[in-house]
């Protein structure tokens, strides 16, 4: 990360581009992330959206965006990005539009589309070396439909479709590794609660060509069951407990951009959220807590 414009918090943009009054829930970690990303990307962008919470940002005839927007469907936002990118390139090449009219093409989807239904179209877009930015706001469940579990749901989380005493039996899919395995130009994890780390990564992604993909863990008061005011704090805890590693992939190498030291116990993050309440009440589920902690420890051990 050479010569980042963002050295300290006060270097972050002070003018905010995304309008207010959207129907997102209060304390939405996804919206927080989008605000931060949009301020850096700027208005010469076209967002290609897939079905999810953010689809409700642009409701006829209003939009919080100063730039453009196209809603596609749940599975094929990257294919929409392909069509728009190719058409812009062709029209510039044929001098039917001025090069100054060019736009950055940004796919915006939730984890439902990114981890599952849209993975095939994403894989193919990367394979074709499409010049685009993909932003996934990951709230670890099908949030817009009431937080049923998705392929991004972490182990043991209670969701609308995993209400048993052990919560969700599966494990969160490693989308970062799956994306990185395609050897795209750039992959990064970010979180709105760490705006400086996020800004540097978006700045870096903006400066590259080819497929650039961002996963933003997005604390979700509604789906994770915590007070909206605690959204940023929970985001910080996700990083400090080592549950959400901040990292980036470029030139075949994975780098961790913020290694938590010392690492707080995972339960500091878990106990703040209603979706993990069953791990503590009516009695502590030591076995499950240990298992979760062991997985976090094993991850950080593996990257030493």
Q: Which residues bind other proteins (CB under 8 A)?
A: 43-44, 46, 48, 55-56, 58-60, 63, 65-73, 75-76, 78-84, 86-91, 93-94, 96-97, 100-103, 120-121, 123-124, 128
3-state secondary structure the chain: CCCCCCCCHHHCCCCCCCCCCCCCCCCCHHHHHHHHHHHHHCCCEEEEECCCHHHHHCECCECCCCCEEEECCCCCHHHHHHHHHHHHHHHHHCCCCCHHHCCEEEEEEEHHHHHHHCHHHHHHHHHCCCCEEEEEEECCCEHHHCCECCCCCCCCCCECCECCCCCCCCCCCCHHHHHHHCCCCEEEEEECCCHHHHHHHHHHHHCCCCEEEEEEECCCHHHHHCCHHHHHHHHHHHHHCCCCCEEEEECCEEEEEECCCCCCCCHHHHCCCHHHHHHCCCCCCHHHHHHHHHHHHHHHHHCC
Q: How far is the CB of 108 from other proteins (least distance, A)?
A: 13
Residue closer to other proteins by CB (options 71, 300) is 71
Residue closer to other proteins by CB (options 91, 232) is 91
Residue closer to other proteins by CB (options 67, 228) is 67
Nearest to 176 by CA among 77, 248, 111: 248
Q: How far is the CB of 114 from other proteins (least distance, A)?
A: 15
Q: How far is the CB of 23 from other proteins (least distance, A)?
A: 9
Q: How far is the CB of 138 from other proteins (least distance, A)?
A: 22
Residue closer to other proteins by CB (options 69, 300) is 69
Q: How far is the CB of 64 from other proteins (least distance, A)?
A: 10
Residue closer to other proteins by CB (options 46, 289) is 46
Q: How far is the CB of 144 from other proteins (least distance, A)?
A: 11
User: How many residues in the chain?
Assistant: 304
Residue closer to other proteins by CB (options 79, 187) is 79
Residue closer to other proteins by CB (options 114, 243) is 114
Q: CB neighbours of 136 closer than 8 A, spacing ≥ 6?
A: 109, 110, 111, 113, 114, 115, 175, 213, 214, 215, 216
Q: How far is the CB of 136 from other proteins (least distance, A)?
A: 18
Residue closer to other proteins by CB (options 88, 288) is 88
Q: How far is the CB of 106 from other proteins (least distance, A)?
A: 12
């Amino acid at each position: 990360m050479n010569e980042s414009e963002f050295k300290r918090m006060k270097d972050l943009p002070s003018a905010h581009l995304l309008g207010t009054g959207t129907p997102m829930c209060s304390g939405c970690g996804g919206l927080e992330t989008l605000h931060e990303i949009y301020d850096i990307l700027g208005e010469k962008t076209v967002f290609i959206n897939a079905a999810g919470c953010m689809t409700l940002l642009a409701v006829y005839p209003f939009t919080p965006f100063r730039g453009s927007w196209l809603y596609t469907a749940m599975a094929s936002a990257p294919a929409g990005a392909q069509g728009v990118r190719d058409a812009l390139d062709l029209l510039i090449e044929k001098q039917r539009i001025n090069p100054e009219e060019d736009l950055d093409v940004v796919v915006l989807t939730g984890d439902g589309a990114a981890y599952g239904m849209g993975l095939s179209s994403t894989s193919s877009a990367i394979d074709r070396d499409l010049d685009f930015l993909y932003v996934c706001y990951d709230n670890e469940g099908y949030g817009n439909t009431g937080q049923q579990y998705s392929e991004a749901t972490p182990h043991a989380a209670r969701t609308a479709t995993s209400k048993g005493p052990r919560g969700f039996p599966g494990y969160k899919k490693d989308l970062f590794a799956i994306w990185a395995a395609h050897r795209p130009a750039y992959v990064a994890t970010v979180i709105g609660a760490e705006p400086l780390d996020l800004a540097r990564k978006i700045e870096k992604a903006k400066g590259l060509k080819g497929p650039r993909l961002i996963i933003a863990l997005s604390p979700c008061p509604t789906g994770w069951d915590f007070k909206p005011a605690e959204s940023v704090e929970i985001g910080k805890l996700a990083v400090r407990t080592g549950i959400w590693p901040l990292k980036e992939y470029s030139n075949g190498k994975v780098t961790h951009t913020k290694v938590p030291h010392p690492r707080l116990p995972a339960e500091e993050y878990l106990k703040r959220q209603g979706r993990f309440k069953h791990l503590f009440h009516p009695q502590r589920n030591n076995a499950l807590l240990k298992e979760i902690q062991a997985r976090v420890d094993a991850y950080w051990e593996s990257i030493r």
